[in-house]
Amino acid sequence: MSRFTQKVVVVTGAGSGIGEAAAKRFAEEGASVVLVGRTREKLEKTLAGLAAGDHLVAACDVSDADQVKQLSETVQDKYGRVDVLVNNAGVIVQGRIHEVELDDWKTLMKTDLDGVFHGVHYFMPALLRSKGNVVNISSVSGLGGDWGMSIYNAAKGAITNFTRALAMDYGADGVRVNAICPGFTFTDLTEDMKDNPELLERFYDRIPLRRAGEADDIARAIVFIASEDAAYITGVNLPVDGGITASNGQPKQA
């Protein structure tokens, strides 16, 4: 398919995991992809794996408003338009609230939440002109609570409702805003869990499909919801989680 031919797609956190997989999918469908992340070397590696196109590597820390403002200007100077913004960059902090430090809270919020705000704030004028759309990467942790993940839950919960509110604010302008909410997914952040079968089994007991997600599972959902195939979908927080959110929390029956 070529659903994104002559479209410009900005993907943050594109150096690995879900962002890298999404960038590859968009490029395969004809998009010019702007690869955004803090580490140029990782972005260059992603670029090497993309289908041929007029792509751009942009080292940028999304937690820094000035850097994101400059990024938006650079992208519009080069392409003259932006059609899709994928706010994917994020970090994870674990621990109960009395076990984490104030700096942990600030660091996570600056990337996971402020980074989304910065992207939408600075790219929205271009998206209004193109009648484009925003895809925020939230989490099933933004739809319900997790043990020992309160800071992460707070940020993702905010993104969930931010997505709904943005959809209401900009729908009449032709701009759609949705979020993808991954469940347990193998990325660089969870790679070490592959060597812990006992821990994986505990996770799989909660997942009806009995496996972890792969980055490409999430990427396919991102590309779908950003495409014209989803033209009548906005304000949705879509779980892509193997069925975790279908459960009422009861243990698997024998």
Where residue 210 falls (left for φ over 0; alpha for ψ -120 to 50; beta otherwise) is left
Position 204, amino acid:
Y
Q: Which of 152, 170, 204, 232 is catalytic?
A: 152
Per the annotation, the verdict on 204 as an active-site residue is no
Q: What is the DSSP letter of 227?
A: S
How far is the C-alpha of 124 from the C-alpha of 191, rounded, in Å? 34
* H helix runs in the chain, sequence order: 17-28, 40-48, 65-79, 102-108, 115-130, 150-170, 197-204, 215-226
| Residue 234 backbone phi and psi in degrees, to 5 | -150, 155
**DSSP per-residue letters across 226-240:** HSGGGTT--S-EEEE
Kindly give the pairing relationship between strand 84-87 and strand 176-182: unpaired
Residues marked as catalytic? 152
